[in-house]
């Protein structure tokens, strides 16, 4: 089969023919229909993830069809159209049994712990616990992002922060996860302010549902907090209920926590290279909640998929570029360049 593979970190990936995989007893092989190009793929390629073993095939957002299944798979069949969360649980531990596979100690992640979906086929382990059936009539562009960025945003807002309709939410960072967060917050009926330093990203946030935007360039964390609060001052005197850091910077976290109203909830999605400094006295005094969010389990997918089926959430509106597998190495290297436009690139395996 064809696959994008790299033998060294940060060296240009290559399109090669490699041996096709076989299904584990409890797993499946999926024929990949389309797969996403995500910043996390770039982190894996750059050597930032200790789980990567070389040579390696990246890719963790996907939609496709079951090509073959192990003898232990009972809930899915060959030919079925599916997607999968990028965090796959073992299916048997207490966390998986309780529907929290995203924190499974024995988790696997396509594109990280084993070869991923930038290929004609990909293996998914413990299929009965991790596969998600998707409707035949949904376009691939509406499904691919459900594996990572939209699932991560949905879990952070709905499960961790329990965002309610009418509440205010400030989203810091308008990349793929941040814009997905804006779109889901809008679908849930929240009022949104989006924060970034990129004018194109802020314009996309407005188009996708943000009522207000703030350019954080040249603002201190304290000034940024005040500016975010000011966006809601005339209509929502109670302040900001939920903040989301989708970027991963210490100063962004300070600004986000500084913007929260009493009893507010901060959701941390962005990964940080260094230890953040959290204003613990403020967290205590205002009884704030600081919540981690890491992917989403397959058990939580029905509500998210229903939003897409009902057309209340349109992940395809985030897709700005569709490429073939042969163009993926260039797309990987292009993530070294600061984005001038916002949106999502997907790889169509039929191209």
Does 270 map to a domain? Answer: yes
pLDDT in tens, 156-183: 999 999 999 999 999 999 988 999 999 9
What whole-number distance in Å separates Cα of residue 171 and Cα of residue 26? Answer: 39
Does 26 map to a domain? Answer: yes
Instruction: Check whether 14 has a pLDDT greater than 90.
Output: yes
Same domain, 284 and 302: no
Does 155 map to a domain? Answer: no
Same domain, 99 and 170: no
Q: What is the CATH number of the domain that holds 126?
A: 3.90.180.10
Same domain, 270 and 178: yes
Does 98 map to a domain? Answer: yes
pLDDT at residue number 67:
98
Distances (CA, A) of 149 to 40, 154, 158, 176, 281: 10, 9, 14, 6, 32
Axis-axis angle for helices 176-187, 199-208 (nearest 10): 20
Same domain, 59 and 39: yes
Domain hosting residue 281, numbered range? 160-292
Select, from the ranges 45-59, 265-279, 334-348, the one with the highest average predicted confidence (pLDDT): 45-59
Same domain, 28 and 166: no
pLDDT in tens, 35-56: 999 988 998 999 988 889 999 9
What total number of domains does the chain contain? 2
Which of 292, 311, 340 corresponds to the end of one domain? 292
Same domain, 100 and 78: yes
pLDDT in tens, 131-144: 999 999 999 999 99
Same domain, 81 and 120: yes
pLDDT at residue number 337:
78
Q: Which two tokens stand for residue 304?
A: 């998210």
Does pTM surpass 0.85?
yes
Same domain, 286 and 336: no
Q: Which two tokens stand for residue 158?
A: 């709905």
Q: Dihedral (C-alpha) 224, 230, 231, 234: value to the nearest 10 degrees?
A: 170
Same domain, 287 and 212: yes
Does 81 map to a domain? Answer: yes
Does 153 map to a domain? Answer: no
Instruction: Check whether 276 has a pLDDT greater than 80.
Output: no
Q: What is the CATH number of the domain that holds 173?
A: 3.40.50.720
Instruction: Check whether 340 has a pLDDT greater than 60.
Output: no
Band (pLDDT 50/70/90 cuts) for residue 235 is confident
User: Residue 11 — left, alpha, or beta (φ > 0 → left; ψ -120 to 50 → alpha)?
Assistant: beta
pLDDT in tens, 83-118: 999 999 999 999 999 999 999 999 999 999 999 999
Same domain, 137 and 170: no
* Average pLDDT taken over every residue of the chain: 94
Band (pLDDT 50/70/90 cuts) for residue 271 is confident
Does 154 map to a domain? Answer: no
- The number of C-alpha atoms within 13 Å of 321 and in the hemisphere containing its C-beta is 16
Same domain, 135 and 27: yes
Instruction: Check whether 199 has a pLDDT greater than 90.
Output: yes
Instruction: Check whether 191 has a pLDDT greater than 90.
Output: yes
pLDDT at residue number 232:
86
Instruction: Check whether 342 has a pLDDT greater than 80.
Output: no
Same domain, 187 and 264: yes
How far does CA 299 lie from the centroid of its chain?
16
Cβ-based neighbour number of residue 137 at 10 Å: 8
């Amino acid at each position: 089969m064809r696959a994008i593979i790299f033998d060294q970190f940060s060296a240009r990936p290559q399109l090669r023919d490699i041996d096709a995989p076989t299904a584990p007893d409890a797993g499946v092989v999926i024929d990949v229909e389309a797969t996403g190009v995500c910043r996390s793929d770039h982190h894996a390629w750059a050597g930032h993830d200790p789980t990567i073993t070389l040579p390696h095939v990246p890719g963790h957002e996907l939609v496709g069809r079951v090509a073959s299944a192990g003898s232990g798979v009972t809930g899915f069949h060959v030919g079925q159209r599916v997607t999968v969360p990028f965090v796959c649980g073992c299916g048997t531990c207490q966390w998986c049994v309780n529907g929290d596979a995203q924190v499974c100690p024995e988790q696997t992640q396509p594109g990280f712990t084993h070869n991923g979906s930038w290929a004609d086929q990909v293996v998914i382990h413990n299929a009965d616990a991790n596969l998600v059936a998707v409707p035949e009539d949904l376009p691939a562009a509406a499904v691919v992002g459900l594996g990572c960025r939209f699932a991560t945003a949905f879990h952070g807002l709905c499960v961790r922060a329990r965002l309610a309709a009418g509440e205010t939410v400030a989203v810091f960072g308008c990349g793929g996860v941040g814009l997905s967060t804006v779109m889901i917050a809008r679908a849930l009926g929240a009022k949104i302010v989006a924060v970034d330093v990129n004018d194109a990203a802020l314009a996309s946030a407005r188009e996708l549902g943000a009522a207000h935007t703030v350019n954080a360039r040249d603002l201190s964390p304290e000034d940024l907090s005040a500016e975010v609060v000011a966006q809601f001052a005339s209509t929502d005197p109670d302040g900001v209920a939920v903040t989301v850091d989708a970027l991963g910077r210490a100063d962004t976290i300070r600004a986000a926590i500084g913007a929260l109203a009493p009893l507010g909830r901060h959701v941390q999605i962005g990964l940080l290279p260094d230890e953040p400094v959290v204003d613990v006295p403020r967290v205590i005094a205002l009884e704030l909640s600081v919540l981690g969010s890491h992917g989403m389990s397959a058990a939580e997918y029905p509500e998210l998929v229903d939003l897409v089926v009902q057309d209340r959430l349109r992940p395809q509106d985030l897709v700005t570029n569709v490429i073939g597998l042969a163009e993926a190495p260039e797309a990987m290297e292009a993530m070294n360049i600061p984005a001038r436009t916002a949106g999502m690139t997907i790889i169509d395996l039929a191209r």
